[in-house]
Amino acid sequence: MRAHRLPHIWCPGCGLGNALRCYVEAMEASDTPLDKHVCVSGIGCSGRAAGYVNVDSYHTTHGRPIPFATGLKLVRPELEVTVFSGDGDLVTIGGNHLIHAARRNLDLNVLCANNFNYGMTGGQFGATTPYAARTTTTPYGNFEQAFNLPLLVAASGATFVSRWTSLHVRQLTKAIERAFEVDGFAFVEILSPCPVGFGRKNEFADALAEMTHFREKAIVRHDADLREVGITMRREDPIILGNFVDEERPSYFVGKDDLLKSVLEGRE
Amino acid sequence: MTGEHFMKGDEALVEGSIAAGCRFYAGYPITPSSEIAERMAWRMPLVGGDYIQIEDEMGSLAAVIGASCAGAKAMTATSGPGFSLMMEHIGLAIMLEAPCVVVDIQRGGPSTGLPTLMSQGDMMQARWGSHGDYEMVAYAPGTVQEMFDFAIKAFNTAERFRVPVLVMGDQIVGQMTARLVIPSEEEIEVSYRPLPDVPPEEYSPADVSRLVPPMVLPGEGYGLHMTALTHDEFGYPETSASRQESLVPRLIRKIKENEQDIVEYEERLLDDAEVGLVVYGSMKGPGWEAVQAARKEGIKAGILRLITPWPFPREPVERLSERVAAILVAEVNMGQMVHSVREYARCPVHHLGHPGGRIFHPDEILRALRKVIT
Amino acid sequence: MRTEIRMAGFGGQGIITMGKILGRAAVIYDRRPAVLTEDYGPEKIGGWSKADLVLSDEEIQYPLVDRLDIFLALSQDGYEMFHHTLRVDGQALFESDLVNPEKGWKQRTTFIPALQTASDMGKKVVANIVMIGALVELTQVVSVKAAKKAILDSIPKGTEDLNEAAFSKGRELAREEGG
Ligand code: SF4
């Protein structure tokens, strides 16, 4: 962490601090020296993470940290490039880049803090807000359905897909370490309480209530059927966590080198 | 590639970019700029660079800026609708001071407009399209050779000042095929952005004594941070009026204080001219032919061709306006650069415009010149 | 002197290639300025296609054609779309089997059985090269030597003899038909 940048801007009870700490611990535990780690973030509360981590970092535009990171990684493949941003940034405005990055299977790590709303701008709904949930722009409850992120990203072709909450510190850190290791696109969804933007309006009186919900309803099931891991945030429904996908699939670099070699050599 | 070629403008631009050191291209195909993407896809792997197709133009320019931050000379190319989508990231490149080149092969608009036919309708968007205050550098090539030459200029200017630079081509100059001479590598002057000249331990990002601060690259131990927010000299966000006052004017001064150096234009037959024709881009040729035809009829016409529409060549326009009785601006839009000409000219300024789809024939310009004179 | 040439036909006939070969012959081997512009119909396959070539002794300022000196049509559509752009004293070259000009067509015209000739040689694709041979013979817009070199630059390896034969055949036909 960059001590001189603290205290951070996050609200008391926010899950982002924990999520960030797990990312930092995973970096420290990884084989890659810290100065070869790069953090790219977008816009939103979690977008500020890039400014707090003590590695080379870029805070970009809303929705576009993934393509920015794509350009960076292609030029400097030896760097461990991680996108740390929020659901609104990565999934709602930037969703197209997310699925294409997973399809491309470039060796990027995407840590997506999902708090089910746009916290920074005052708690509006987005593509991850559960059906019927209240936000400042769904005063009658959300009419729309939410994305099931592990299903979406796995179907798009990611090599590693995982979901933890910001309370599952140990498992989350391990998952991020694994994301660094895998040779391909790795996605970690981090469920993160947002008492200010989401919790209060949805029967979680305070940060503690949302955290308790995460703790009590969490079920770890690595081999879960991904069609069934959507999140409702209803009191009665489970929150399924795990490292759902961990598969070998040739990364973008491998695919590109193989093809270029065979085609160019074939020409001679 | 050194030697003589019969090449398409879009392809010449690719060769110029490569000669300037471009090793990264990200883009989304769009008519009539796709020849650039196609040739880049073929050429980049052969010169040790990267070509990547991103899912839209916002992402394309974001990837270009990421590549630039990683140390590569990077570019993208597009046309009208894609250019509109790129506007936000023009601002990002300015704010991160990430050198890059954006090529707009202009076609008729608004909206989908005329995908296969030329216009010069994006000239004001080029200058003002992204939100906030900034200065812009844009080159307007008029021949296949200039597609090559100006691509090199664009990269060099981008690198020297750590800014995005535009090449405002159009469908005509992009898709026509003509003679191109590629000089030998030694003959091509190439610039690279300033880099820190001290090791990480001694490096102080606070040193912004230079108008164009050195660019720190990732993975080298400098512990850099860059943000699109208004930021302090360390790169950290500080969203205050006072910080804005020190950051934004510096970004503007990078261009303003070097305007003399950046601005380029071409003057012909202006010494005794009574009427001045102002053109740029593909209108260069037809304009010159019209001026020569006018001279044959005894009309003392001369031509001022803007090589860099932006920054706007104010002084040459001022000078011209003091010499001639009237100026005619001929451009393939309904009146864009004519506004800037009027801003600086001290004589009557007339406009010959067309909404796009075709270039002016020299005879049409000649007729307009005759009218201006009477 | 400025010469404006338009070649029109349908996609797949190698119209653009003709333009590139002639332009290359002029620029690289005859060392004269040339500018080529191309255009297609919106249909992906079988739509019209045209190549416009401006040749000149001085630098070319206006890159487009205006009043054609020479008009080549390799399809009826190509003929119909563009025949009105040929000057009254211009020269036309039509594919004998594919172009049928209207009654009253007055311009100097040579009919070349390019397709039939190419078929007889066993490769329909060289019909455009036959046409180039005829054009060069009739108009000398580029030199024979330059045209031959530009053809060799533009064709797949192993087809040199075939293309040279097609070019010569085109010249012969022009001598016979054009007189
Ligand atoms: S608004 Fe929500 S996500 Fe943002 S800092 Fe506050 S609690 Fe965290």
Domain count for chain C, please give it: 1
- C23 near C53, Cβ under 8 Å? yes
Q: How many Å apart are CA B231 and CA B224, to the nearest integer?
A: 13
CB atoms within 10 A of CB B340: 21
For the stretch C100-147, pLDDT in tens is: 999 999 999 999 999 999 999 999 999 999 999 999 999 999 999 999
Q: Average pLDDT in the B159-174 region?
A: 98
What amino acid occupies position B230? T
Partner-chain contact A68 B54, CB within 8 Å: no
A194 C-alpha to ligand 1 centroid (Å)? 5
Touching, C vs B (3+ Cβ pairs under 8 A): yes
Residue A220 pLDDT more than 80?
Answer: yes
**Chain A, window 76-95: residues with a beta carbon less than 8 angstroms from a chain B beta carbon:** 76, 78-79
A120 C-alpha to ligand 1 centroid (Å)? 6
Q: Is B268 left (phi over 0), alpha (psi -120 to 50) or beta?
A: beta
**Chain B, window 237-256: residues with a beta carbon less than 8 angstroms from a chain A beta carbon:** 237
- pLDDT score of B202: 82
**Chain B, window 16-55: residues with a beta carbon less than 8 angstroms from a chain A beta carbon:** 23-24, 26, 45, 50, 52, 54-55
The finding on whether A197 has its CB within 6 A of some atom of ligand 1 is yes
Lowest mean pLDDT among B122-136, B158-172, B209-223: B209-223
Give CA torsion, residues A205, A210, A216, A221, to 10 deg: 160
- Find, among B99, B92, B135, B133, the residue nearest to B226 by Cα: B92
- Which two structure tokens, joined as six digits, stand for A43? 């816009």
- B360 near B330, Cβ under 8 Å? yes
Q: Which atom of ligand 1 is nearest to the CA of A123?
A: 1
**In the predicted model, what is the mean pLDDT of chain B?**
96
- Find, among B264, B262, B276, B151, the residue nearest to B212 by Cα: B262
Q: In a 10 Å sphere around its CB, with 0-12 CB exposed, 13-18 middle and 19+ buried, how is residue B277 labelled?
A: buried
Q: Average pLDDT in the B154-164 region?
A: 98
Partner-chain contact B221 A35, CB within 8 Å: yes
* A218-220 and A239-246 beta bridge pairing: parallel
Q: Which atom of ligand 1 is nearest to the CA of A192?
A: 3
The finding on whether A254 has its CB within 6 A of some atom of ligand 1 is no
- Beta pairing partners, B279: B305
Q: How far is B290 from chain C (nearest CA, A)?
A: 10
Q: Return the residue of C nearest to B6 by Cα.
A: C24
Q: Which atom of ligand 1 is nearest to the CA of A115?
A: 3
Phi, psi of A145 (to 5 degrees): -95, 155
Q: How many Å apart are CA A218 and CA A168, to the nearest integer?
A: 10
Beta-carbon contacts of C144 under 8 Å, excluding residues fewer than 6 positions away, are C136, C171
- pLDDT score of B203: 81
**Can you give the residue range of the structural domain that contains C84?**
3-178
Q: How many Å apart are CA B119 and CA B354, to the nearest integer?
A: 8
Contacts of A60 in chain B (CB under 8 A): 62, 65-66, 92, 228
Touching, A vs C (3+ Cβ pairs under 8 A): no
Query: Chain B within 8 Å of A268 (Cβ-Cβ)?
Result: no
CATH number of the structural domain spanning residue C26: 3.40.920.10
Q: How many Å apart are CA B281 and CA B291, to the nearest integer?
A: 16
Q: Which residue has the higher pLDDT, A49 or B365?
A: B365
Q: How many Å apart are CA C116 and CA B210, to the nearest integer?
A: 72
- pLDDT score of A268: 56
Cα separations (Å) of A8 from A45, A51, A116, A163? 10, 9, 21, 25
A123 C-alpha to ligand 1 centroid (Å)? 9
- Which two structure tokens, joined as six digits, stand for A68? 């920015």
The finding on whether A63 has its CB within 6 A of some atom of ligand 1 is no
Q: How many Å apart are CA B22 and CA B15, to the nearest integer?
A: 9
Residue B184 pLDDT more than 70?
Answer: yes
- C118 near C124, Cβ under 8 Å? yes
Instruction: Spell out the domains of chain A, with CATH numbers in brackets.
Output: 3-267 (3.40.50.970)
- pLDDT score of A260: 95
The finding on whether A195 has its CB within 6 A of some atom of ligand 1 is yes
Residue A58 pLDDT more than 60?
Answer: yes
Partner-chain contact B229 A64, CB within 8 Å: no
- Beta pairing partners, B226: A58
A193 C-alpha to ligand 1 centroid (Å)? 8
Instruction: Spell out the domains of chain B, with CATH numbers in brackets.
Output: 3-187 (3.40.50.970), 265-373 (3.40.50.920)
- pLDDT score of A206: 86
The finding on whether A94 has its CB within 6 A of some atom of ligand 1 is no
The finding on whether A115 has its CB within 6 A of some atom of ligand 1 is yes
Q: How many Å apart are CA B34 and CA A230, to the nearest integer?
A: 41
**In the predicted model, what is the mean pLDDT of chain C?**
95
- pLDDT score of A6: 75
Phi, psi of A133 (to 5 degrees): -70, 150
The finding on whether A207 has its CB within 6 A of some atom of ligand 1 is no
Most confident by average pLDDT, B173-187, B196-210, B219-233, C42-56? B173-187
Percentage of residues in chain B having pLDDT higher than 90: 94
Q: Which residue has the higher pLDDT, A1 or B33?
A: B33
- Name which residue sits closest to atom 2 of ligand 1, judged by CA: A194
- Which two structure tokens, joined as six digits, stand for B296? 């044959």
Q: Return the residue of B nearest to C32 by Cα.
A: B179
- pLDDT score of B109: 96
Partner-chain contact B177 C66, CB within 8 Å: no
Partner-chain contact A75 B26, CB within 8 Å: no
Contacts of A68 in chain B (CB under 8 A): 62-63, 65-66, 69
Beta-carbon contacts of B46 under 8 Å, excluding residues fewer than 6 positions away, are none
Q: How does DSSP assign B17-48, residue by residue? A: HHHTTEEEEEE---TTTHHHHHHHHHHGGGGT
Beta-carbon contacts of B215 under 8 Å, excluding residues fewer than 6 positions away, are B97, B99, B162, B193, B194, B195, B196
Query: What ipTM is given for this predicted complex?
Result: 0.96
Q: Average pLDDT in the B146-152 region?
A: 98
For the stretch A152-207, pLDDT in tens is: 999 999 999 999 999 999 999 999 999 999 999 999 999 999 998 999 899 898 88
Partner-chain contact B219 A78, CB within 8 Å: yes
> Does residue A78 sit in helix, strand or coil?
coil
Phi, psi of B199 (to 5 degrees): -70, 165
- pLDDT score of B30: 96
> Does residue C108 sit in helix, strand or coil?
strand
Helix A169-181 and helix A16-29: axis angle, to 10°?
50
